Amino acid sequence: MGITDDVLVVGGGLAGMTAALAASESGASVRLVTDSESTLQQASGLVDVLGYPNPHDGDGDDSGENAEAASPVPNPFDAIESLPADHPYRVVGEGSLRGGLAAFDDATGDLYVGEHTDANALVPTVGGTVKPTARYPASVAAGLASDTRSMAVVGFEGDTDTDAERIAAHLEAAGVPFEVTGVTVEFPGDLDGTDQDTRLAHALDEDEGSGRRVLANRVSRALDDADGLGVDDVDRVGFPAVLGRDRPREIRSALADGLDADVFEVPPAPPSLPGLRLRYRFRDALREAGVALTTGNPVVDHDVEDGRIETVYADRNASRVPYEPQAVVLATGGLVGGGIDSERDRVYEPVFDCHVPHSTDRYDWSDADTFGPHAFARFGVRIDGDARVLDADGDPTYENLTAAGGVVGGYDPATEKSASGVSLATGYAAGRSAAAAVTDSQQPPLTEKR
């Protein structure tokens, strides 16, 4: 008979988790089944909504100019109207985007900031670039590029991911409105920059050997020895994002005391502590909402009856586990995440074989210009305003199948800087319509006790 829940969400990234929360809030019993551990720890922890709408407008003769060189939009909401009609934001609407952001804010609580404004924040990253972002961890708040206070960036000996001097140089070259300098110090204690971020974080959590004080002292000395700003000239100091997993606030405040400056983290390369913290926070939110989590089982097959998905089969190591939900949310990610796949002659969606619009000529899939408008960047299934997946004729493929996040096409997340926002907006829409599709005729929800 299989495992029965009202809503089955397939995929555990930001979109899937948002869909699960939205469906659960609408009263459905929800199960989230994922192929592997959440990939949020691969992410920087920054949540963008829209930085560069229509990034390839005006691309032309002077190739080599890419979207990054242009200024980001100050307010993503104002720019939605200018997007193409099949962009997910236009399809599910601003209301869903706001709903998704509200769900995110509820789930993350004091871990994240940015809720106070619609405007983009400009966050310096580990690459020395500035990323337009709608929500960001509280730990990076003191580092915003729009802030005019002077800044020092710190790297650790041995850490090849964070080159503090280079970050400072890049920021300066980008024309930030403040003075910035970079220094590299040894991590206190037995560890160094080659050790895992989680170990460095743990050492600071435990304050082994008064590591926090030692670190602050080393940074002060390094700043005074370096040619750039001295420690007294610096208003804020950015560190690699390893400032604690369990006690990040305490660590930042200890370092701030020692340096007499604000302290922040620079969003890192994966795997990232900010991504890990976000993952744990979301997992807690899902548990609180009563969402059942099944992790490590890819969905491999399904049965269809009367235009509805009846049974979904997950592969559990070798045996197949049947799930019989009333509605299904597909949130398996895009080309990188495996939610969309391709062969030499076709692009397809591997779980339900949903329609993925694409040219039959594979040479149309990419652009000759590396940073040009690649068609593949927009590959994905198409949805309607209720996030239902559409077939080639533009009709719902199955009445109880919605989709969210990277598996949805029609937008270019990397150049637009819109991946998280689209996940939140479509996740919210998909979760809500999945819950609405649950009929009254079914058994009481699984999560409800007698």
Partner 1 sequence: MTDDAPTDDADAAQPADDHAADCGDCHPANAPTATDGETTETDGAPTATDGGTTQTDGGTAVEGGTAVEGGTVEGETGEFEPIEVFPEAGDADLRPGADDCYKCSTCDTSCPVAEVDEDFPGPKFQGPEQWRLKRSDDQDIDDSISKCSNCMRCDSACPSDVPLSQMHNTARAQYVDEQLDKTSLKYWRNRLLANYGTMAKLGSTFPRLTNAIMGNSLVQTFNEKFLGITSEREFPAFATETFRSWYAKRGGEATSVENARRARRERGEDEHADKRVAYFHGDYANHNTPEVAKALVSVFESFGYAVLVPEQRCSGTPMFANGMLDDARRAAKVNVRNFSELVEDGVDVVCSCTSCSMALRQEYPELFSIEGTATVAANTYDAVEYLRIYEDLDGELADGADLSESGGEDAYAYHAPCHARNQGLDGQTVEVLGQVDGVEAADVGDSCSGISGTYGWKSEHYETSMKVGDEMFEHMEDGDATTGMTECPTCAMQMEHGTGYEIEHPLEVLERAVVDDGESGAA
Interface with partner 1, residue 307, by CB under 8 A: no
Q: How far is the CB of 270 from partner 1 (least distance, A)?
A: 5
Q: How far is the CB of 437 from partner 1 (least distance, A)?
A: 22
Interface with partner 1, residue 303, by CB under 8 A: no
Residue type at 297 in one-letter notation: N
> Of these, 319, 393, 394, 395, which contacts partner 1 (CB under 8 A)?
319
Point out which span in 17-25, 205-213, 310-318, 417-425 binds partner 1 (CB under 8 A). 310-318
Interface with partner 1, residue 311, by CB under 8 A: no
Scan for tokens 């990323």, then name that residue. Answer: 131
Point out which span in 62-70, 112-120, 314-322, 372-380 binds partner 1 (CB under 8 A). 314-322
Interface with partner 1, residue 26, by CB under 8 A: no
Residues that contact partner 1, how many (by CB under 8 A): 40
- Check: CB of residue 18 under 8 Å from CB of residue 98: no
Q: How far is the CB of 195 from partner 1 (least distance, A)?
A: 6
Strand 7-10 versus strand 327-330 pairing type: parallel
Q: Residue 33 or 251: which CB sits closer to partner 1?
A: 33
Interface with partner 1, residue 157, by CB under 8 A: no
- Check: CB of residue 135 under 8 Å from CB of residue 47: yes
Interatomic CA distance for residues 223 and 183, integer angstroms: 7
Interface with partner 1, residue 296, by CB under 8 A: yes
Interface with partner 1, residue 329, by CB under 8 A: no
Q: Looking at residues 256 to 285 of the shown chain, list those that interact with partner 1 (rule: CB under 8 A).
A: 270-271, 276
> Of these, 102, 293, 414, 436, which contacts partner 1 (CB under 8 A)?
293
Q: How far is the CB of 315 from partner 1 (least distance, A)?
A: 9
Interface with partner 1, residue 33, by CB under 8 A: yes
**CA–CA distance from 330 to each of 173, 231, 280 (Å)?**
42, 51, 22
**CA–CA distance from 279 to each of 12, 14, 424, 447 (Å)?**
10, 9, 15, 22
Interface with partner 1, residue 335, by CB under 8 A: no
Which stretches of 58-142 are assigned E, i.e. beta strand?
Answer: 112-113, 121-124, 130-133, 136-137
> Of these, 26, 42, 129, 311, which contacts partner 1 (CB under 8 A)?
42
Interface with partner 1, residue 322, by CB under 8 A: yes
Q: Is the four-CA dihedral 180, 183, 189, 193 of positive or negative sign?
A: positive
Using alpha carbons only, give the angle 16, 22, 23 rounded to the nearest 5 degrees. Answer: 90
Report helix, strand and coil shares of the chain as percent, to nearest 5: 35, 20, 45
Q: Looking at residues 177 to 236 of the shown chain, list those that interact with partner 1 (rule: CB under 8 A).
A: 190-191, 195-199, 202
Q: Residue 295 or 439: which CB sits closer to partner 1?
A: 295
Interatomic CA distance for residues 403 and 92, integer angstroms: 11
Q: What is the 3-state secondary structure (H, E, C) of 285-346?
A: HHHHCCCEEEECCCEEEEEEECCEEEEEEEEECCEEEEECCCEEEECCCCCCCCCCEEECCE
Interatomic CA distance for residues 362 and 367, integer angstroms: 11
Q: Residue 226 or 292: which CB sits closer to partner 1?
A: 292
Q: Residue 323 or 398: which CB sits closer to partner 1?
A: 323
Interatomic CA distance for residues 449 and 39, integer angstroms: 32
Interface with partner 1, residue 44, by CB under 8 A: no
Q: Which residues pair with residue 312 across a beta bridge?
A: 302, 323
Contact residues for partner 1 (CB under 8 A)? 1-4, 33, 36-37, 39, 41-42, 190-191, 195-199, 202, 270-271, 276, 292-297, 314, 316-322, 337, 446-447, 449-450
